[in-house]
Amino acid sequence: MQELIPRSSPETSIPTIAVLGAGAAGLMAAIHAAGPARRVVLLERTTDGGRKILISGGGRCNVLPGTLDEARFVTASSPNIMRKILRSWPLREQRQFFEQTVGLPLVLEPETGKLFPVANRARVVRDALVALARQRGVEWIGATEIVGLESTARRWQLTAVDGREFTADAVIITTGGLSVPATGSDGFGLRRLAELGHTVHDTYPALTPITLDPPAYADLAGVSLDVVLTATMPGAHRTTSGGFLFTHHGYSGPAVLDVSDIAVRSRLAGGEPARLRVQWTSLDATAWTERLAPSAQTVVSALRPPLPGRLADRLLTMASVDGATALAQLTRAARLRLIELLVRFPLPWTGDEGYRKAEVTGGGVALDEVDPRTLESRLHRRLFLAGELLDAFGPIGGYNFVWAWSTGRLAGLGAAATLTRETRDEGRET
């Protein structure tokens, strides 16, 4: 057996922590696990790691949100446990960590409430985290896909696809979910943890564009605006507001992505498809009733702005209203038809872009099967879990990095503290 991570022995007595996966959670776990009395080794499938960080936020990396609303996270596990985990590292301290410890100043984008690196490039975030990990003595083993994870007499044995074997005293699994497999995450951790007896709540693509086939609104592709969007299925109801974009295949933009998991889950459940309703502007029915009150103004000029021209024309056609009609000539029935389309537009959809485009994976390892103070598995000692493979995700806006950073840190600290305590206790016993 080739042992790239040397077996810690009573002679060397240096405990080893293997962090499996160098994404957002893995890098943060390694940084926090590192310390003078132990080896921390990052095992990563790709050559460089952090590939999701590189493509995040449109290549700019939305590192954190400006403010955090815990209630916007989604989990099928206990929301209480999820909150405990989230509260382990308050947002203010996370920002401080990036700005002062990582040396990466952040700036708030006022129109979106998101924090980006001042350099405005995702690469600086990935590179700064890798550099900090190396500076803290973390060893890097890249281009290594792990395909086996076994527990052997108090230690963990990991096997790479090419047959190399590694052993460690503790393992932190941060291999991510199933979204955008091209970045390196294909669900290995989820599969292996299920085999090890963990409950994995049903996984599904989340924060993914929604499709319509045939694409009845493809002629509107490129039209974007701020909307209020509501999604409803049995047992789930969510209203979001924000950017909406017509695409060649359907719809995207933050508001669409933020409710997409409800559409996806209704599709997977095989029952009634979720109902999506759009209020196209910030104006509600009362505000439109006032705006469309009888006057000499034409209907179309009352609609645009606030609506983009192409969408206004489409809604007028759907309401069978001639835009050139003066508001004074608009019949009550036509006015009501138009207002209904403006504030409760039933958005047709037939599918979604799936994991290929999903920013995160919904579902994952049940949170009640980890100790919320350390993220150690309740089923297997010295096995710690962090990141997207755990059962929680948040909306667009930096929430998913909050989850990756806080769970990564907690697992890193947890593994280090556990090994320190156990090594000390063993020393006392001998």
Ligand X SMILES: Cc1cc2nc3c(=O)[nH]c(=O)nc-3n(C[C@H](O)[C@H](O)[C@H](O)COP(=O)(O)OP(=O)(O)OC[C@H]3O[C@@H](n4cnc5c(N)ncnc54)[C@H](O)[C@@H]3O)c2cc1C
Cβ distance to ligand X smaller for residue 261 or 319 = 261
With left for phi above 0 and alpha for psi between -120 and 50, is residue 327 left, alpha or beta?
Answer: alpha
Please name which of 302, 280, 281 lies closest in space to residue 291, comparing C-alpha atoms: 302
Nearest 5°: phi and psi at 107? -135, 140
185 part of the interface to ligand X, by CB under 6 A: yes
Residue tagged 């003078």 (tokens):
36
* Interacting positions 38-97 with ligand X (CB under 6 A): 43-46, 49, 51-52, 55-57, 61-62
The distance of closest approach from Cβ of residue 179 to ligand X in the complex, given in angstroms and rounded to an integer, is: 5
179 part of the interface to ligand X, by CB under 6 A: yes
Cβ distance to ligand X smaller for residue 75 or 230 = 75
Residue span 5-24 as binding mask against ligand X, x where in contact by CB under 6 A, dash where not: ---------------xxxxx
Q: How far is the C-alpha of 338 from the C-alpha of 292, rounded, in Å?
A: 10
Q: At what angle do helices 332-343 and 309-318 cross, to 10 degrees?
A: 130
The residue range among 2-10, 103-111, 183-191, 215-223 that interacts with ligand X, by the rule CB under 6 A, is 183-191
Please name which of 172, 147, 170, 189 lies closest in space to residue 28, comparing C-alpha atoms: 172
Name the strand (E) or helix (H) holding 227: strand 224-233
The residue range among 176-184, 233-241, 247-255, 412-420 that interacts with ligand X, by the rule CB under 6 A, is 176-184
Residue span 125-164 as binding mask against ligand X, x where in contact by CB under 6 A, dash where not: --------------------xx------------------
The distance of closest approach from Cβ of residue 359 to ligand X in the complex, given in angstroms and rounded to an integer, is: 4
The distance of closest approach from Cβ of residue 404 to ligand X in the complex, given in angstroms and rounded to an integer, is: 4
Burial of 158 (0-12, 13-18, 19+ CB in 10 A): buried
260 part of the interface to ligand X, by CB under 6 A: no
Exposure of 245 in the CB half-sphere (CA atoms within 13 A): 12
Cβ distance to ligand X smaller for residue 43 or 299 = 43
Please name which of 30, 133, 44, 58 lies closest in space to residue 398, comparing C-alpha atoms: 58
The distance of closest approach from Cβ of residue 67 to ligand X in the complex, given in angstroms and rounded to an integer, is: 14
> DSSP 3-state assignment of 15?
coil
The CA radius of gyration of the chain, in Å to the nearest whole number, is: 25
The distance of closest approach from Cβ of residue 46 to ligand X in the complex, given in angstroms and rounded to an integer, is: 5
253 part of the interface to ligand X, by CB under 6 A: no
Number of residues located near ligand X, criterion CB under 6 A: 39
The residue range among 96-104, 105-113, 171-179, 329-337 that interacts with ligand X, by the rule CB under 6 A, is 171-179
180 part of the interface to ligand X, by CB under 6 A: yes
Q: Evaluate whether 233 touches 384 at the Cβ level (below 8 Å).
A: no
188 part of the interface to ligand X, by CB under 6 A: yes
Q: How far is the C-alpha of 362 from the C-alpha of 76, rounded, in Å?
A: 9
Q: How far is the C-alpha of 338 from the C-alpha of 334, rounded, in Å?
A: 6
Q: How far is the C-alpha of 60 from the C-alpha of 132, rounded, in Å?
A: 20
398 part of the interface to ligand X, by CB under 6 A: yes
387 part of the interface to ligand X, by CB under 6 A: yes
Give the tokens for residue 144. Answer: 């290594």
208 part of the interface to ligand X, by CB under 6 A: no
Cβ distance to ligand X smaller for residue 26 or 362 = 26
The distance of closest approach from Cβ of residue 185 to ligand X in the complex, given in angstroms and rounded to an integer, is: 4
> DSSP 3-state assignment of 2?
coil
The residue range among 257-265, 291-299, 395-403, 420-428 that interacts with ligand X, by the rule CB under 6 A, is 395-403
377 part of the interface to ligand X, by CB under 6 A: no
The distance of closest approach from Cβ of residue 310 to ligand X in the complex, given in angstroms and rounded to an integer, is: 27
> DSSP 3-state assignment of 188?
helix
Give the tokens for residue 296. Answer: 């000499």
395 part of the interface to ligand X, by CB under 6 A: no
117 part of the interface to ligand X, by CB under 6 A: no
Beta-carbon count within 10 A of 226 CB: 15
360 part of the interface to ligand X, by CB under 6 A: yes
Q: Which residues bind ligand X (CB under 6 A)?
A: 20-26, 43-46, 49, 51-52, 55-57, 61-62, 145-146, 174-176, 179-180, 183-185, 188, 359-360, 387-388, 398-401, 404
